[in-house]
Structure 1
Amino acid sequence: MQPPDDRIAKRLEEIRAREAAADAEPAPADDLGSAVVDRRKGGALRSTVFVIVLIVAAAGLFGLAVTLTRLAGDDFGDAERYGRADVTSCVRHGPITNKGFGYWESCAATITWDGGDTDRATVDAVFTSGDIGSPVRVGDLGTYRTTRELVREDAAYRPWLAWIGYAVGFLAFVPTLVLVLTVREALRRKR
């Protein structure tokens, strides 16, 4: 039996000989006879473009989902009380906001309810500047957070459009999930 130091020294020589032989060998060739290309070259630019495309896709899908649900409208029959609104002024917003894509107006109105009460409210995406000076029949849907939710009597209610918006919003999670996993992997590799 050989002493342990001789076996270790012999094994180190074998490893060094393999490494020297591997360094001396030419680069492997593919079927066309050209050298194999290092796939990591340009990887940072490609990854950055991929992440930017994912961000734009996710934001675009979320914006489309919000737009579709806004355009779906609300049901006038769901109102708690009814009244007449006199629009006094409007401010235009858009084209890209928290209400989705497109232009919409935030209007101040004085609302006279059928019971005789009067309220002043600023409502988003219900009235237009064309409503200034003419009474509009409205229904009160209650409050959401701190804003009053109103619905026009003459506004179309399209629940199918809201469902399409929900489906698009669900689809927006796919590029968002891929984006999160890609960023997570990139951060893990940097460690």
Structure 2
Amino acid sequence: MARNGDHVVLLDVNVENARLQAERIEAEYGCGALAMACDVTMRESVEAALDGAARAFGSVDVLINNAGITRDNLLFKLEEDEWDDVIGVHLKGAYLCSRAAQRYMVKQHYGKIVSLSSTSALGNRGQANYSTAKAGLQGLTRTLALELGPFNINVNAVAPGYVDTEMTRAV
């Protein structure tokens, strides 16, 4: 997106991480890049971030739901807070971000929402919480595609297999 000259807004609970990436994007691609603190599990935080993005750049055209954490454990060892944390970030976060973004997208009769799911949505040992969140995300994506399609809002998910990232290296 930045390569095409699009403005980019990076949301992260750790705004310093987002700020470093925004600076790199601006330097490398010459587009506007903004870093904002956002807890995707909190409606007020999400709405404030999307409102800030719209104020900064005039619209919200594309949303990429890619916030993620892991708290892997076998079911008999999985604590309730580990379940809640993963479902909260992956599924509730995508719901809240999509809901906030669609307010702008419906008004402008255009938008794209892309969510990062996973092949783990089909089940993966030690990942009951993560697999459930990703399966739920696929259902949410299909539902939003039906609801928002009439407003020229395209909603899709991609489900990659293992990708070497900081998060997966920690597992």
TM-score after normalising by structure 1: 0.21
More helix by share: 2
Q: Which has the higher contact order (CA 8 A, sep 6+)?
A: 1
More strand by share: 1
- The structure with the largest alpha-carbon Rg is 1
TM-score after normalising by structure 2: 0.23
